[in-house]
Structure 1
Amino acid sequence: MSCFTFTLRLCLSFAALALSAAHAQDAAAPPPAAASSPASSPAASTEAAREALGKKEGDVDQAKVLKDTLSATDKQYSLLKAGKRALTYDLTYSYIGQQLISASFTDQTLTQFAIQNTRGHTVTNTISADYGVRDNLTANLTVPLVSKYSQSETFSGLSNGIGDISLGARFQPFALSRTLPALTATGTLRLATGRSPFKTIEGQGLATGAGYHGVTLGVNASKVIDPVAIFGSLNTTLGLPVKHLSQTRNGQTLREVHPGPSVGFGIGFAYALSYNISTTLSFQESISARTRLKLVDANGNNVDTKTSSQSSAMVNLGLGVRVSPVTTMNFTVGIGLTTDTPDFTVGMNMPLHF
């Protein structure tokens, strides 16, 4: 419920109470007498008036009505209303630069040493569609279009294609409260619709997806302390194994990939500079367990190995600009804090109206 609606209802309630009190007094007052009776005394008239104006059994307690009016609120949620639809467009650019050292030893003697500089540019256009199933339940469909350009000493190329499509839902178990934070449970199923990194041919293409299906469960919390909104999130992701692969790299053939689980969290705040401008500052981190790989070497022997664990962290700076009563454009800049994170990202988000 908006502050305006709550204030309007409160004013109407006070007006109703005033009219009710006036009507009660008019009904309770005795009719005027044509002439004073000599038998009636001032004490008797006072007692009769007090009894007539006093509270009778069954009368409505005005204090109770006022208390109920102030405490009664409709259940309100921050998600889409039931039956409502929304489209959102996201544009994100990310850059990552790496230096890879390749070294080979034979009988403890260095026989090969090389440093490879790799630079990667990724532009992602994402369309998200939301539908309000209920006032506290929203379904979501996300379709990304990915363009990647990579440049190194051994390969330079551009790849365009669809990314990993996601199906998700957001659920608010409790209505909004003036004292408690708003809680939202989220669930996302990521489909491996993009070009898999486990199926690309070395030097001939770039991946546009993760290569495996994944399920993410999380919870978000937010609290408005005017003019600041504080928010945080916690989530976990489980990746489904990928089998029947046949990718050859460095004389070995990849057969199976078993992704390790990951845990992520984030925290931040938004500050309203005015009715049309707001700023955000947030931090997010994700820690992924080791991924198990099953390979076959040149001699036909099975080899089981694990990658190292990964930790990605980023600080995001945002600016929101309200360009119309129903349209707010958001701009973000992310700064990578670890080697497993892009060096920086730049993004823009806006709703679409048709």
Structure 2
Amino acid sequence: MKMMSGKVAAMAALLLAHHVAWAAEVDEAREALQTTDEDVTQEKNLEEVFQAAEKQYSLLPSGEMSLNFSANYNYYRDDRIDIAIDENTGNISRFRIEQDAQHAFSSALSLDYGIWNNLTFNTRLPVSYKYDTQKDVSQAALGDVSFSLRYQPFPVKPGAMNTTLYTTLSTPTGDSPYDINVNEEVSSGSGYYSVGAGVSASKVIDPVVLFGSLGYTYAFDASGLNQNRGGEILNEVQPGDSVNFSMGLAYSLSYEVSLSASYQQSYNFETNFLFEDYTAASEDSTSSVINTSLGLRTSSNRIVNLSFGFGLTEDSPDVLLGLSLPIDFSGLKPGA
């Protein structure tokens, strides 16, 4: 194999300078691509449309509560460059590509409460289990607890578009990727606060439902860090904001069975990593996912969803599997 030493040395030096920041970027991207509250909002919006017959609003009526359980599996695979350079001669002493895979299992309880007929409060409590094949490390921990509001400004009218506004607050209650030992642990959270807002819309064209959403998420800085990453001390992370959108359709095969397909894309702006001696920045990234879902109506107000998806870009999960179903706790309600 022929090698041009000058170009190879320059490339190797560049790779080494960004190696630590790149590893941090990979961890952050994986956290950002977990199931988000925007995904839950989209699924909720579609479910509400199916259940909205003869109702003025498709959200929960005032004073009512609902509890939902969801379980997800994500599979990630990466090829990483492992490089070592002799400090005296500048020659490359090791250059290899390592294959890394991560299996992520997560489950969550989502509680909805109808404040008004057109305003619903939601809180989501996630728990995750991850296994990293390269580190041979597994860990189960609490994820990032989130809170959201969904508001429907206009009553539902037959044949008209159903519009819902939403806002979300995500809290860093999970294990931060910037506080753990990166060689021996895996994270369960993003490591920073974020707030998001957006709009979702749907329209029934019997027997098809068209739906879509558009949202923006602002991420707050994570400061006061003291994490060792490849011999460098990470002091602060300035995560980039993100813009996301989705679109899809659902087809009702019968009263009990429906099929849906959707496309989701998220554009994440660059993230800055502030180390003691230098500052590194990751590049903007784009994740795109195609999802298919099977909805089974088990009662007049209960729909169980089974989903399958796959990523289209390098920054997306390779495989996504999901299950969501409502939990009947009417017997625990006051006065029941």
Q: Where on the TM-score scale, by shorter chain, does this alignment land: which range?
A: 0.7 to 0.9
Deviations 1:47-87 (A, max 9, x none): xxxxxxxxxxxxxxxxxxxxxxxxxxxx8111000001000
Partner of 1:319: 294
Q: 1:244 aligns with which of 196, 202, 224?
A: 224
Percent of residue pairs identical: 35
- Which consecutive residues of structure 1, in runs of 5 or more, have no partner in the other structure? 7-74, 297-301
For residue 342 of structure 1, report the CA deviation from its aligned partner. 0.8
Which amino acid in 2 is paired with 1:227?
P
Q: For residue 258 of structure 1, what is the aligned residue in structure 2?
A: 238
Taking structure 1 as reference, are residues 135 and 149 closer, same or farther at Cα in structure 2, changes over 3 Å only?
same
Structure-1 residue corresponding to 2:266: 286
SS of 2:173 mapped into structure 1: coil
Aligned to 1:113: 95
Could you say which residue in structure 1 is the equivalent of 2:282? 307
Number of the residue aligned with 2:146: 166
Deviation string 1:86-132 (CA, Å, 9 cap, x unpaired) is 00000101111111112244566322212211111111111000000
Task: Using structure 2 for the length normalisation, give the TM-score.
Answer: 0.80
Determine the C-alpha separation between the residues in 2 that align with 1:160 and 1:273.
Answer: 39
> Could you tell me which of 113, 116, 127 is aligned with 1:145?
127
Alignment of 1:1-354 (within 5 A): 76-105=56-85, 109-152=91-134, 155-296=135-276, 302-354=277-329
Q: Quickly say closer, same or farther: Cα 1:3–1:272, change in 2 above 3 A.
A: closer
Q: Secondary structure at the match of 1:232?
A: strand
Q: Is the contact made by 2:51 and 2:58 (CA closer than 8 Å) also made in structure 1?
A: no
Shift in Å, 1:335: 0.8
Amino acid at match of 2:155: A
Distance 2:51 2:293 in 1: 26
The answer to which of 197-206 and 221-230 deviates more is 197-206
CA distance in 2, matches of 1:253, 1:2: 52
SS in 2 for 1:279: strand
Deviations 1:313-335 (A, max 9, x none): 00001101112223221000011
C-alpha contact 2:265 2:289 (8 A) present in aligned 1: yes
Q: Greater shift after overlay, 98-107 or 285-294?
A: 98-107
5+ long unaligned stretches in structure 2:
1-48, 330-336
TM-score, normalised by the number of residues in structure 1: 0.76
Determine if contact 2:52/2:58 at 8 Å carries over to the other structure.
Answer: no
Q: Which has the larger radius of gyration?
A: 1
Aligned length: 279
CA RMSD after TM alignment: 2.0
